[in-house]
Amino acid sequence: MGVALPPQVPRRWFRRTIPLAIFALLLFYLCARSLRALSGCSSGALFCIADGPPSLQVQQESGSLEAPEREEPQCLGPQGMLGRIIKPFRASLNPEGDVELSQYLAGWRELIKFLTPFGSIFAFATGEAFTKVTALEARVHGPEAAHYKSLAAMVAWERRAGLLELPGIGPRDSTRSSGSRTALLLHRALRWSQLCLHRVATGTLGGPGAGEQCHDAYNTVLAPHHHWLVRQAVRLAFLSFPGRGRLLELACPGTREEAARAAVVRAAGTLEDVYNRTQCLLAEGGLLQLA
């Protein structure tokens, strides 16, 4: 026996309405299921709460902030070798687009400490860098300290005061070089250090060794400014360059190779940021050929 419909409801309307209602319910079900999948919510939950850890704000408010699963290597921390390099160099990049000299030189002192244990190949670089850092620090803390707070201020002051050398003509006594010329020489050494560290950290198994990669960086950055005898001495010194594993161990003691590589890449990235900022400032001042 069929179901009797009220006389006011046409049968044709009933036949069309049922399929539409079924289609609407099906569409609603599929949309709800898709939304649950996108939000990471499980079906059947009373309240839709996404899977995974709570947001940082929620953790802070509840007092249950936990350490991330992958902590940074200690070498990137405040007391770590790379951390002590990154912090002052990063602080030297002020918001106005200049380079604060006191922080820049503090970063260089930490970089020298890091490079010194690598042997004779870095001896000439660290020795020269130490002399130049000391000379610049004497200006930063000397009687004209007000003009040596930043790289741009120093360049402007030395230009007005007539202290800049002619391009390519340096004083016989390097200790009498202008601060701008000294900064340019440090600037080139920083580029070499950055390229060397980055290439060592990203080198592939079976590819060029650490010594070859750092020698190539030297040929790119510093060799064009050195005499033939110096270039030959450097080439021989690179033969005793420590292997990649030794460099990574000195940079990040007790850290897995993958994490140590990533940490060195991060440090090299900071050096590159500082180099790029300094390069722009020196180029604007027309000082890239000063030495």
How far is C-alpha 202 from the geometric centre of its chain's CA atoms? 14
44 vs 261, more confident: 261
**Is 183 contained in some domain?**
yes
pLDDT in tens, 122-145: 665 677 788 999 999 999 999 999
- 65-123 per-position pLDDT tens digit: 333 345 788 999 999 999 999 999 999 999 999 999 999 999 999 999 988 876 555 66
Tally of domains in the chain: 1
Kindly state whether residue 235 falls inside one of the protein's structural domains.
yes
Percent of the chain exceeding pLDDT 70 equals 71
Q: Which two tokens stand for residue 159?
A: 């230009």
Q: Is 207 inside a domain boundary?
A: yes
Tens of pLDDT along 142-187?
999 999 999 999 999 999 999 998 887 777 666 678 999 999 999 9
Indicate whether 59 belongs to any domain: no
What domain range includes position 176?
A: 74-284
**Section 248-270 average pLDDT:** 94
Q: Per the domain annotation, does 34 fall within a domain?
A: no
251 alpha carbon, distance to own chain's centre: 15
Q: Tell me the CATH number at 274.
A: 1.10.3520.10
Place of tokens 């994490």: 259
Taking the whole predicted model, whether its pTM rises above 0.75 is answered as no
- Residue 219 counted as domain residue: yes
Report the alpha-carbon distance of residue 159 to residue 148 in Å, rounded. 13
CA distance 234 to 217: 12
Question: Is 97 a member of any domain?
Answer: yes
Residue 190: pLDDT band with limits 50, 70, 90:
very high
Does residue 110 lie within any of the structural domains? yes
Contacting residues for 121 by C-beta, under 8 A, at least 6 apart? 211, 214, 234, 237, 238, 240, 241
**Letter string b/e over residues 180-202, b meaning 16 or more CB atoms within 10 A of that residue's CB:** bbbbbbbbbbbbbbbbbbbbbbe
DSSP 8-state symbol, 93: B
